[in-house]
Amino acid sequence: MMKKSNWLTLLLLSIVLVLAACGGGDKATEQPKENDDENNNSTGNGESYTVGISQIVEHPSLNAATEGFKQALKDSGLDVTFDEQIAQGDNSLNTTIATNFVGSDVDLIFANSTPSAQAAMGATSDIPVIFTSVTDAVGAELIESMDKPGKNATGTIDLHPDTIKNTVAFLKDELGAKKVGMVYNAGEQNSVAQVEQVKEAAKEAGITIDEASASNSSEVKQAAESLASKVDAFYIITDNTVVSALESVIDVGETNEIPVIVGELDSVARGGLAAYGFEYKDIGYEAGEMAAKILKGEATPAELAAQYPQNLKLVVNKKAADALGIEVKDSWGAEVID
């Protein structure tokens, strides 16, 4: 017969073994949970990023570029938080936005427009800046060259090399225009560069250019009206101030039966007669792909070549053409919208 003390010893030993087994079971269930957390991490390294988005003003083309940029970063699998700011055409606010991004130590700045990119570059020489909707990045002193940007910025250009040449030829050969009116903001380097290129192409084609400047959107209609009696057609380039108030120019054109040729496909949908252009969402997406490479550490802005837009095409607004009595010819090879 076993002694009472032995029974107590066996009972205590049994309790210890049971507790040990329970403790081991808890550890076994915790381990897979840690593995699941690792598998749910989209970047694979736990990194998260903040990207500041600076846009000079709201209009369909710039909005589409921002949409494309954000989509590209989402598609890249990176964990990105966007701080999106619109300057509403105010250059003082534009500068403040850039300064605040630097103060917040964002990981990258996306600058949508030439003024936004210039403000960002003026605020930092360290934080990467990816731009889009910029016409002349070298002239705006954002980069040293298209192939070798050389600074902390790179991005996508919103002017295909053939856009202006093709548009001037269309004005002369298809519309018979001899005098063309241009409304733009003389304070935008982006616009000044384009106007100079248009003048050069127009001179070779024997076309006269009449200009009127608008420093803000409220001045656009008056500027267009000042040209209406002097010109055969309007050519509205990718000027952010004028495009944000494009309906004012369209109204002047309709009232005076003057065709309005525009620089963006979105502006054709808004009432412009025609444009040689591309999708702004595409150049925004391409800029986003560049940003992803930089955030992943695969490249630096200095070595990542800036890019021109691809897939230039002519788009014609049939409703606008019909209102002006203009025949849309098959020989134009245009995409026609109603």
Task: Parse the chain into domains and list their residue ranges.
Answer: 49-158+279-303, 163-277+313-337
Which residue carries 């050069």 as its tokens? Answer: 200
Q: Same fold for the domain at 49-158+279-303 and the one at 163-277+313-337?
A: yes
Decide: 269 and 317 in contact? Cβ < 8 Å.
Answer: yes
Q: Classify 338 as helix, strand or coil.
A: coil
**Higher pLDDT pick, 8 / 163:** 163
Decide: 142 and 178 in contact? Cβ < 8 Å.
Answer: no
Judged against a pLDDT cut of 80, whether residue 130 lies above it is answered with yes
Question: pTM of the entire structure?
Answer: 0.78
The fraction of the chain above a pLDDT of 90, given in percent, is 84
The single-letter DSSP state of residue 301 is G
Domain covering 49-158+279-303 in this structure, CATH number: 3.40.50.2300
> 21: exposed, middle or buried (C-beta count within 10 Å: 0-12, 13-18, 19+)?
exposed
Taking the C-alpha atoms of residue 4 and residue 9, their distance in angstroms, rounded to an integer, is: 9
Taking the C-alpha atoms of residue 338 and residue 320, their distance in angstroms, rounded to an integer, is: 8
pLDDT by residue (tens digit) across 181-215?
999 999 998 899 999 999 999 999 999 999 999 99
Judged against a pLDDT cut of 60, whether residue 20 lies above it is answered with no
Nearest to 118, CA basis, from 153, 85, 87: 153
Where residue 19 falls among pLDDT bands split at 50, 70, 90?
Answer: very low
Residue 299 confidence (pLDDT): 97
Architecture of domain 163-277+313-337 in this structure: 3-Layer(aba) Sandwich (3.40)
Q: Classify 177 as helix, strand or coil.
A: coil
Residue type, 324: L
Judged against a pLDDT cut of 60, whether residue 139 lies above it is answered with yes
Arithmetic mean of pLDDT, 153-170 = 96
The fraction of the chain above a pLDDT of 70, given in percent, is 86
Taking the C-alpha atoms of residue 336 and residue 338, their distance in angstroms, rounded to an integer, is: 7
Q: In sequence order, which residues have a C-beta less than 8 Å from that of residue 134 and are 6 or more positions away?
A: 113, 114, 117, 140, 142, 155, 156, 157, 158, 190
φ/ψ of 233, rounded to 5, equals -160, 155
> 132: exposed, middle or buried (C-beta count within 10 Å: 0-12, 13-18, 19+)?
buried
Taking the C-alpha atoms of residue 147 and residue 298, their distance in angstroms, rounded to an integer, is: 17
Q: Classify 132 as helix, strand or coil.
A: strand
Which residue carries 């209102």 as its tokens? Answer: 323
DSSP of 47-93: --EEEEEEESS--HHHHHHHHHHHHHHHHTT--EEEEEEE-TT-HHH
